[in-house]
Copies of this chain bind each other. A is one copy, B any other.
Amino acid sequence: MENRDIRLKEIRGFHVGGALHKLSGFKGEAVARAAGDTPTTMDMNGDHMVGQMYATHYRQAEPRFGLPIMLWHGGGLTGACWEDTPAGGPGWLDYFLRDGFDVVVSDAFERGRASWPPYPQFLGQEPEHRSLNVVWHHFRFGARGTYPPILDAQTARQMAYPGLQFSIENLEQFGRQFVPRWTCTEDLTIAAYGALLKKIGPCVVIGHSQGGYYALQCARLFPELVRAVVAVEPPAAPVAANAPGTHVPHLFVWGDYIHGKSETWSRYFRAVEDYRQVLGDSGTPVEVMELPEQGIRGNSHMLIMDQNNQLIVKRVRDWLIEHVRA
């Protein structure tokens, strides 16, 4: 498939959602507007758009599937996480485009091109930015406490889990993708995803990590628009008692090194399984794809960009073709 050209009717990036806010009482410091210019204080008070998000819509010349696929990134990342791997290989976007799917790749509110409001009064707390040290065990590249003392390729590979599919030799390259994130923006983020869904119309949502959580929430909140959900390692699920509200097909995808390896991810897994149970009990078609159970071992939390990511996305694509009426 790598040799098949990508034939598109249109590629269109755009922003959607958010609202006008009036800033007042803000006093900045004097800075130069352009090289060589005299420093001046910019008056930032006035009208600003806050809460919007960004998306790129790829429309096929001849779509093979009746619904576009949305790709929603996880926390601390942007839509770029679907576009390549740390080793420079193709991501899930490449697969779906070559296979003839319409695709929408987005940056959630306050991440990437979506922008963020640099006024303390809007978000009320400071953002965080994951260090590679934390990512090492939280994304299950290696056990806690094994972050390599030197970040060269050989040392990183030695300290990582044996058989790890993540290209740990290129950990720094992965680190270039991280953006600051706030953890208090769920309502604004869901409102922006809602605006995106309304603009694009009925679709399939594939969400990774925090994006998987938002996919589950939006399937409940916008049942007429989200026609199927693929939640790749969501760290949380909607409150189970509220589960009914959608009956579209759900697929949950999990990598390796969870059970008996990561206390945090075992806890996340159980919470999401509880939700999956309630969904299934209410008649919603649900499927769980635990990759190790299918003989696919070595996948980190970043399985969408692991070295075998094309094999995994093909299984997701096959599930879509089989279970989703487009």
Residue ranges of A at the interface with B (Cβ–Cβ < 8 Å): 5-18, 20, 23, 28-29, 31-37, 42-49, 52, 54, 56, 61, 75, 78-80, 83-84, 88, 90-91, 93-94, 97, 107, 112-113, 115-119, 125-134, 147, 151, 172-173, 175-180, 183-184, 186, 210, 213, 235-236, 239, 268, 271
Contacts and interface: CB of A to CB of B under 8 A. Distances in A.
B129 A48 contact: yes
Contact of A13 (B45, B54, B84, B179): B84
Contact of A18 (B42, B45, B176): B176
A74 to B, nearest CB: 11
A131 B43 contact: yes
B9 A5 contact: yes
7 contacts: A6-B11, A34-B236, A36-B239, A37-B236, A49-B178, A107-B113, A116-B180
Contacts of A34: 210, 213, 235-236, 268
Given A213-B34, A236-B36, A93 B11 contact: yes
A215 to B, nearest CB: 13
Given A32-B183, A46-B134, A49-B178, 13 more contacts: A6-B7, A10-B94, A15-B176, A20-B151, A23-B131, A29-B126, A31-B125, A45-B133, A48-B178, A49-B172, A115-B176, A117-B129, A118-B126
Contacts of A78: 113
Nearest to A2: B10
Contact of A118 (B56, B112, B128, B133): B128
A63 B213 CA distance: 41
A83 B107 CA distance: 15
